[in-house]
Amino acid sequence: MPSQTEHNLPNVGLVGIGGYGRTHYNFYLKLMDEGKMRFTGAVVLPHLMQEYADQVAVLHERHIPIYPSDDALLEAQRGTLDLVGLPVGIAAHRPLTCKFLDAGINVFVEKPLAGCLADADAIIETARRTGKFVAVGYHNMYSPDMHLLKKTILSGEYGRLLSVKMFAEWPRADTYYARNNWAGMAIVKGQPVYDSPLNNALAHYLNIPLFCAGDDFATAAHAVKMQAELVRARQSIETFDTCGVRIITHNGVTILLLQTHACGAGRNPRLHFQMERGHFLWELQTKTMQFFDAENHLVHSEALPDFRIFEFNNVIARIHDPSAFIYTPENSREQLFCIEKMHQNFPIHNLHSNEYQIDTGHDNQYIIPGISEVFDRCYANGLLPSEAGATWSSPVPMKDII
């Protein structure tokens, strides 16, 4: 990577310091202290200044300007700002990304890329027209373990990738769904957001299989067939909190996704990659990645690093180094394609009151009884919940979604 001097350090701004914006805020301060960038401004809406008083105090102490709106940041730093971070709501991804791109500023936008394919395509077209880059916050994509996994799949050493399956149980209760006006919603003020486990908290674990199934290192696979059992336990949301989804990619890889927010203790994501001659495991719970050969002998094992370090370093490096890896909007579009086609083609099954429980002692956490056992059977045998005997999920046909 080209060396940096004080004179050519990139200028980086941030829109929003709450929610996941706090992670951006912390990393921008860290990278500034490491001499890798200048943190030149943050947007904090006036009515949130008191809520984020501690962070605001640090910004003042560090002489980092605070702006009341994205327009104010843009007006003050147009022509000098190199990159803006956008950890904002899904509905704001397209308008803000395109606004900053049109102003000649590179963008680091959180996942998912946008709320719908039309918005994704608008971002892609604007980036191409302006010649500026868009880096998407699929954190794992920037990490060395994920790059090794993809390169090993492509090497042919273990034969062809046949299938990927994953499960995750991340409980989310009232506080999570009340944190904004779009959590669990399909459409907000006419703007598609399709917020769900698969398109927000656990979107990474749809994106990882698509990326790993891509034909080369730079691309993700395209889905051509799908079965989606979508279930809603929490009655106040528009989308779903539980799903079993089977996807067939353009190159014949089968992807099985088992995800829920309607659970008790929770279990972190586990991904299994079946090769022709072996298999790989990637586990967030144990923070390990393991490669096994055809005889089930362990060939390689490594600890998963803190992927965010690589994510933020790579995005900042990309400003001056075109070879620095970023996850592109073109690849991110493949995850969004699956989400939009899912909502267009498959119904959401609303559970009856006798099919879920509400843990009032834990922030009204909705729980589907026995869901861990169902997911275990599904994961072990490559099944959707209805195929594994779950009475709360209804079978659906496989559909072409090209």
At 104-156, the pLDDT tens digits run 999 999 999 999 999 999 999 999 999 999 999 999 999 999 999 999 999 99
Its pTM stands at 0.95
The model's pLDDT over 99-109, given as tens digits with 9 standing for 90+, comes to 999 999 999 99
- pLDDT at position 241, please? 98
- pLDDT at position 2, please? 44
Q: Are 177 and 184 in contact (CB under 8 A)?
A: yes
Residues of the chain with CATH 3.40.50.720: 6-140
Q: Are 277 and 158 in contact (CB under 8 A)?
A: yes
- pLDDT at position 4, please? 52
Is the pLDDT at 165 greater than 60? The verdict is yes
The model's pLDDT over 166-199, given as tens digits with 9 standing for 90+, comes to 999 999 999 999 999 999 999 999 999 999 999 9
Q: Are 305 and 143 in contact (CB under 8 A)?
A: yes
Q: How far apart are CA 243 and CA 349, in angstroms?
A: 10
DSSP assigned state of 214:
S
The percent of residues above 70 in pLDDT, for the chain, comes to: 98
Counting Cβ atoms within 10 Å, is residue 22 exposed (0-12), middle (13-18) or buried (19+)?
A: middle
Phi and psi for 124 in degrees, rounded to 5?
-60, -45
Residues of the chain with CATH 3.30.360.10: 141-305+328-400
Phi and psi for 347 in degrees, rounded to 5?
-80, 160
CB neighbourhood size of 69 (10 A): 13
Q: How far apart are CA 69 and CA 42, in angstroms?
A: 9
CATH class of 141-305+328-400: alpha beta
- pLDDT at position 402, please? 78
The CATH code of domain 6-140 reads 3.40.50.720
What's the distance, CA 339 to chain centroid? 12
Is the pLDDT at 5 greater than 80? The verdict is no
- pLDDT at position 7, please? 66
The model's pLDDT over 260-304, given as tens digits with 9 standing for 90+, comes to 999 999 999 999 999 999 999 999 999 999 999 999 999 999 999
